[in-house]
Amino acid sequence: MTGLPRPGPAQGVSLAGGSGAPRPATPAGLAAGKAGGDTAAPNPAVDAAVQAMVNAAGLPLADQIAQYEAAYDTLRETLASIDQS
């Protein structure tokens, strides 16, 4: 059957995070990877949203989507509040 490609892992790839599967970086790992070691002032809302996305990796797909949408809303609201200041 041919058709449009579907998002997600290639057929036969395990979602359980097999030996070669990359794992998302932790929030601390993201901050440590910044050039020159400079990090921005921590923002609890952003940190919580990033951690929620990391934690979502082990959830069923429907629950992952809900976590990503909630994180997106949090990040969008945080950016909007920064723009207003």
**What pLDDT is recorded for position 17?**
47
Q: Give yes or no for a contact between 67 and 53, defined as CB atoms under 8 angstroms apart.
A: yes
Measured CA to CA, the distance from residue 75 to residue 68 in angstroms comes to: 10
pLDDT, tens digit (0-9, with 9 covering 90-100), for 8-51: 555 444 444 444 444 555 555 554 454 455 667 788 999 999 99
**What pLDDT is recorded for position 13?**
44
The CB density around residue 25, as the number of other CB atoms within 10 Å, is 13
The alpha carbon torsion through 29, 14, 20, 10 (nearest 10 deg) reads -100
The alpha carbon torsion through 17, 72, 34, 58 (nearest 10 deg) reads -20
Q: Where are the domains of the chain?
A: 42-77
Is the pTM of the predicted complex or chain greater than 0.75?
A: no
